[in-house]
Amino acid sequence: MNQLTRLIRALAQTQRGSVTAEFAIAIPATMLALSICMFGLGSIVRQIQIQDLATSVARSTARGDVVATPISLSQAAIRISESGELVCAEVSMPVNFAVTSFQVFEVRASSCALNNGR
């Protein structure tokens, strides 16, 4: 029994600090995974905003109204084209990683409306 106690104490001494090392690896890995998830959700929200802007631009242009772009989408590139009875708007915008200027990819959306106003 005495030898078993010594063996357990010896093993406990060799494992000292291992929890700290595991946390030193696990916490940054968890933060990286959360950052990637937040970036993905932000990209989805940006795609929805771009699609909504494309729809608004197409409808407003077809009616002959002035289009107001929200400040959050001020970097969006808008291209308007007319084809027969349709007015189409294509909107694209770069998606940056977090608050950096590192452009990861570009989201695009397009929408068409009947040219009623002309």
Per-residue pLDDT of 7-51, as tens digits, reads 777 766 666 666 677 778 888 999 989 988 988 898 899 899 999
Residue 37 pairs in a beta bridge with none
User: 97 pLDDT exceeds 70?
Assistant: yes
* Range in 3-12, 37-46, 68-77, 88-97 with the lowest mean pLDDT: 3-12
Q: What percent of the chain has a predicted confidence (pLDDT) above 70? A: 86
Residue 81 pairs in a beta bridge with 88
How confident is the model at residue 44, as a pLDDT? 92
* E strand segments, the chain: 77-83, 86-96, 103-114
How confident is the model at residue 16, as a pLDDT? 63
Q: How confident is the model at residue 117 (pLDDT cuts 50, 70, 90)?
A: low
Residue 80 pairs in a beta bridge with 89
